Amino acid sequence: MNDALGNPQSVLVLGGTSEIALATVLALPRNRLRRVVLAGRPSPARDAAVTRLSGAGIAGVSAIDFEARSTSEHAALVNDVFDVGDIDVVLLAFGVLGSQDEGEANPDLAVEVATTNYTGAVSVGLRVAVRLKDQGHGSLVVFSSVAGDRARRSNFIYGSTKAGLDAFAQGLGDALHGSGAHVLVVRPGMVRTKMTTGLPEAPMTTDPDVVAKIVVAGLRRGKNTVYAPGPLRFVMTALKTLPRPVFRRLSQ
């Protein structure tokens, strides 16, 4: 259960090796956490994530196999996790960036990005939402992206999956309104992680720790949407009003 000061006891991370999600778990008060489940593909990175959280003094860290694209397995996975006990916070943090150029050349690769980022999220997100509503409390944090705010020539395959995910998460939040369960949509700008290694840094690029702090504060205040860093909200509002030709030239 969350306590009255907004501190959760149990967390499920979908995309258990996500650096932003791990930073978020580490930003929660550690002395209240009793169960953290990292759902992801079996890998040395997942083992390392378990070790890292346990090493940071978090109790009850475990891993479970999860593949975003294997949607037929999602129902069993979600039920397995929730049948053990209530989950206070679910971080939906899986996703791939893909390569825009390769996707344009080989649409099968673009479909993989879409299946992971959007279809997988719809599949697991709905199942999580039902369990949160059934337990009568809990938060689902959906990691969207400012890339979904407006399609850009340079990354619209990825951006469109995040646009779809973002719209899905907003609607899900409205569906759960008044149910005790709650959805927080997080729209980070560019974050320094292994996903973005080697890419040129955009303005207002930030670190996982900064995103994590914003997520934890947003959870505590029951927010519906947060940007990370916060001022990106105004930048994106302005960018969305630009005429297409201007924006096209800006975002080459």
Please report, as ranges, the residues that interact with another protein according to CB under 8 A.
1-7, 9, 29, 31-32, 34, 85-86, 129-130, 133-137, 175-176, 178-181
Q: Give min distance, CB of 101 to another protein, in A.
A: 40
How far apart, in whole angstroms, are the C-alpha atoms of residue 235 and residue 138?
31
Smallest gap from residue 2 Cβ to another protein (A): 6
Distance CA 20, CA 33 (A): 18
Exactly one of 82, 143, 158, 227 is catalytic; name it.
Answer: 158
120 close to 69: Cβ distance less than 8 angstroms: yes
Residue with tokens 């079996």: 42
Q: Which is nearer to another protein, 133 or 150 (CB)?
A: 133
Q: Is 158 a catalytic residue?
A: yes
Closer to another protein by Cβ: residue 9 or 155? 9
Dist CA 117 CA 17 (whole Å): 15
Nearer to another protein by Cβ, of 4 and 238: the residue is 4
Work out how close the CB of 34 gets to another protein at its nearest, in angstroms, rounded to a whole number: 8
Neighbouring-strand partners of residue 187: 227
In this structure, the number of other CB atoms found within 10 A of the CB of residue 30 comes to 14
> What distance in Å separates the CA atoms of residue 134 and residue 129, rounded to the nearest whole number?
9
- Enzyme catalytic residues: 158
